Chain A
């Protein structure tokens, strides 16, 4: 089959289909006036501009990001997609643009600060996230509640359905700023990881282009601008840009 997600195919079509989250403030979400926005979305728009094509957003949930690529539903995933060994076998990741690690949020009134406190407790995750992966591998007596979407998982936490919720620390930081009765008691658990754009395996054309694009954007300081615009207002003062974004290219 021909690669209809190659750069030339995309240019010919005039649109690029990019998978983003729709309910993950401040990375990919929708404002009350219905406009998509966030750190990932901002990047996506820039990529569209640089390719000279229109961007068509496809909203995904965490567990459908791989399949969205595999089944050609999208050309590129920009949905807080953490690079993992397993995922590398399924899709191709470009150069990273963010740092991340799993964090655990809990009620300020009974905070969870150590993994051992979770023994025998319920923990909320979203299906197909690195948090789920981590706690599946290191379960230590934790029972996982697996939700489909971010909305559902945060709703469940607020309703007190579990002791804690595990997810990428980068958006937990943002979430607790808006929900001051909660705290990210465990800031990092498990390995430090990175977030990258992903394309379908074998799509070297778009992969190469994206790698170059990230290098170029880095030079222009795009990611700092993006951070200041989309992320900074959501984080507490204890979080610095360098905690989140990757500026020096390897």
Chain B
């Protein structure tokens, strides 16, 4: 390993790192919004919409992001629908992540004990008040560990953006390998780049899970 090569590459990787972060941020934010909508629609059993979103969830969960991206980026334009690489990446991440986030939220909502809903009813809360004061606050905090796990998962998935020529971390490293043949140095910078984002998140996740298991969120 040649450290001066690693050092020279830092500015390029910094840029790539920021792109990875930026796209992850928008993708995850979008996924959370989609996830909330989907989980609410399904929890409150909104007719029709519930079925449509159910079909979306199945498509999203049962196909790889790579193909989803190929589709958005390479195939859709053939049908006259074209968005930029970055927009394709973020849309792909939202399409994939939305269903995962929905599952995380649904897990939290279903994790609220039935007795909580019943005792809310027993003191006369309306359905909406029940959601507002009992189900959502408890359900959302129950779903935090699953959401954190999804965040890590989705950030890792951005590595696939390389196939649509977005100069994020993976694309940058592969480029360095292909053009300058600095394989070891490129892979080193790449792993460091992801580690900086993911290790703190992974520690946070472990902590959240332990907290959830110890029941600080519960009774």
Contacts and interface: CB of A to CB of B under 8 A. Distances in A.
Most buried by A among B85, B175, B178: B178
A29 B169 CA distance: 30
B73 to A, nearest CB: 8
Contact of A127 (B179, B181, B183): B179
Contacts, number: 59
Contacts of B165: 124, 145-147, 152, 156
B138 interface: no
A152 B167 CA distance: 15
Interface stretch (B74-82, B115-123, B145-153, B197-205): B74-82
Interface in A119-146: 124, 127-128, 132-133, 136, 145-146
Nearest to A91: B181
B180 interface: yes
B82 A159 contact: yes
Contacts of A86: 180-181
A128 to B, nearest CB: 3
B174 A66 contact: no
A87 B179 CA distance: 9
Contacts of B125: none
Contacts of A63: 174-175, 177-179
Given A127-B178, A159-B77, A152 B163 contact: yes
A interface residue count range (under 10 / 10 to 19 / 20 to 34 / 35 or more): 20 to 34
A90 interface: yes
B162 interface: yes
B158 interface: no
Nearest to B167: A146
Interface in B3-59: none
Interface of A: 61-64, 66-67, 70, 86-87, 89-90, 124, 127-128, 132-133, 136, 145-148, 152, 155-156, 159-161
15 contacts: A61-B178, A62-B178, A63-B177, A63-B178, A67-B177, A67-B183, A86-B181, A127-B174, A127-B175, A127-B179, A132-B175, A145-B165, A146-B171, A146-B175, A159-B74
Given A132-B178, A146-B171, A147-B165, 8 more contacts: A62-B178, A67-B177, A70-B183, A127-B175, A128-B177, A128-B178, A146-B167, A159-B78
